[in-house]
Structure 1
Amino acid sequence: MANEVFQKGKLAKRASYKMTSLSTEEKNAALELIAKQLLEDENEILAANKVDIESGRDNGLSETVLDRIMLNTDRIAGMVEGIRQVIELKDPIGEVLETITKDNGLYVERRRVPIGVIGMIYEARPNVTIDASTLALKTGNAIILRGSSSAKSSNIALVSSIHKALEKSKVPVDAVQLIEDTSRETAKSLFQLNEYLDVLIPRGGQNLIQTVIREASVPVIETGAGNCHIYIDESAKQAMVEEIVLNAKLQRPSVCNAVESLLIHEDWFNKYGKELLEKLAANDVTIHGEEKVKAVFPDAVLATEEDWGTEYLALDVSVKLVNSVEEAVEHVNTYGTNHSEAIITEDEVNANVFLQKVDAAAVYHNASTRFTDGFEFGYGAEIGISTQKLHARGPMGLPALTSSKFFIKGTGHVRQ
């Protein structure tokens, strides 16, 4: 019910004031307790996750979505490793960003401070519960979590472990709140919780993100969908192309940094295109190609305009032929989602044109888009990948969860 959102918002706000006085050592100690508690509670967490998986199957969820929900020993170990990486990272709180000493002796200092209360609304992935909570706590923030019904049991179990750990720490238990009612009403209440919420971060599919942007009165950090492209330039090496494309599409198709669209220079395609598409098809990838692609690879599904803008999150890829890097850039900027875009080329001039002109949070030269990830970038866990340009962009680690505050010291100064 909406009342749950209001009450937990109030508790989180109170906790956020207590968080501001915690030392780095106290926050890190709490994170280590969470890591240990997750391992101690592994059986209970996996049992709760099994309930979600069985319910999801009964409700007809796809294997792609079930993979996002699924937890196992390795994934819990990955969560724990992520927490311990966050512990090792420098605490940004208190960092002096700027100092000014005025001619009259007035001293002005700007420091990093917590944002306050962060709201997370997310779909499927229960690992977000841990990633978001630990990053928020490390930066002295309280957090309100609102996951989806498909991972409800898992999220309740994970937050229970967090609370057990925080009870043994200096961090207030109320700093982590989970909205257990996953109805639309609670989502709408969270969108309007300006009295207690300082920022709201949606993490999930395009529908969720656009709904939050459209309906929220709380400030939003947009974490966009990933309609990611790889442009294969005329000079690209065949072996490199095959390795990068297969990795970007197959390693984990259900995530936002997997490649969804291939743009291929016609000259390269005429030499090597059929072989590349055959290798994708041999790995159960459905090719959605334009007429010229289908003429060379008859098993392709004829692409429509909708395909160019689709984030499949599955074993599908759209394929379009282009005649220049400029044409590739125009296509990416028309249909992309400002997430992650790559060029494979031996031509440094073309590489620089692509990297400079494509509008995306992360751009790659001769590398897989799968690296757009807080863990891979050295941030430990991430709270999301921002595709907007204000405040934060790309994988959001600790600094993205801070604001700043001016500290002014005088000796009886008055303004003339």
Structure 2
Amino acid sequence: MTTIPEYDIVRSATCPLDPAPAMRARQEEGPLTRVRLWDGGTTWLVTGHAEHRAVLGSAKVSVEPARGTPRLSALEAAAMESAASREKGSGGIGFILMDDPEHARLRRMVTSAFTIKRVEAMRPATQRIADELIDAMLAGPKPADLVEAYALPLPSLVISNLLGVPYDDHEFFQNNSRTIINRNSTPEQRGQAHQRLAEYLDDLLGEKLVKPSDDLLSGLVERVKAGELSRPEAAGMGVLMLFAGHETTANMITLGTLALLQHPEQAALLRDGDDPKPVAAAVEELLRYLTITHGGLRRVALEDIEIAGQTIKAGEGILVINEIANRDPAVFPDPDRLDLERNARLHVSFGYGVHQCLGQPLARMELQVAYSTLLRRVPDLALAAEVEQIPFKHDGFVYGAYELPVTW
């Protein structure tokens, strides 16, 4: 009788930027395998790139937790049940855990804010923010924590400006966001953090009902006035964009900088060029190499679906692992090597299909500005601690580092 291995996403202490060794072992077994969860149940695990796209691109799978997507721990299962009860009839966390057509209806209302044209218009302001943050860091003490000095405030300022959220409140929304994505948060802690953010966004919507401005929240207010959107739905969408707009990009800036400092020959390619095309290509490779989604994307089959010659039956759960799909040697030769000249556009760091990340044009632009500006402005940037001393976010649904000590 074949023993089904346990689901294990623990990364190696000696290779913290690589996917968990257990994920590599599962990928070597095949692109679609089964793993055992904390409660003794099993679920399908997708580690192949082609299979990743096949599952996420299928209309036969659902993202909605209530339909039975996998839970990765007892805490998460309890949190899901608590969230389902709390969010019934409210805006929840926007459209991220909804299926079409409701997902598409809500998503369309904010798509225009993230078009490439709109995002490119934000590049000069993003560049000013990056330069001002580096000015402040260089004027301060050494060593510095790159997370607090640069990686976290840059996307927080950008998303605050886009949404119309006062940046003065950044500690409030950052702290509550950390609670929501921490695997060790209790259902009560996670629920309270979400409620605080929802009430905060609802208050802002109330202010913009009286005094609208040229920002995304004011645009949602217009939808509320027109009867296209309820106020709780608008608040939920605000929570989603505020959270996703700073937490994910901040961790990518942090880990990308660490990877570049570990590979100085690759950093030189990014630092010494002024052509935007190689910079954009380098960001794609960093996104492939450093996928920060930690724990997989959860789906459940709505009907039987054929993947990799096997049948996933209706009702069975599926875990789709971005970080190991991005290390699939069938698509990316020598996948564990960071190569900024690689064509990495097929990476799945933003997901795939109808639920792929809405804000990916914004994230790409921010990362292009963040990496190139930092390396150009601080050419002698160096780690101020051993990699073994860096506190990585093994406890989060988004992978990153709590601190990154640097000097120059």
- Quickly name the TM-score band, shorter chain normalised: under 0.3
Determine which structure has the larger helix proportion and give its number.
Answer: 2
Larger relative CO (CA 8 A, sep 6+): 1 or 2? 2
Determine which structure has the larger strand proportion and give its number.
Answer: 1
Larger Rg: 1
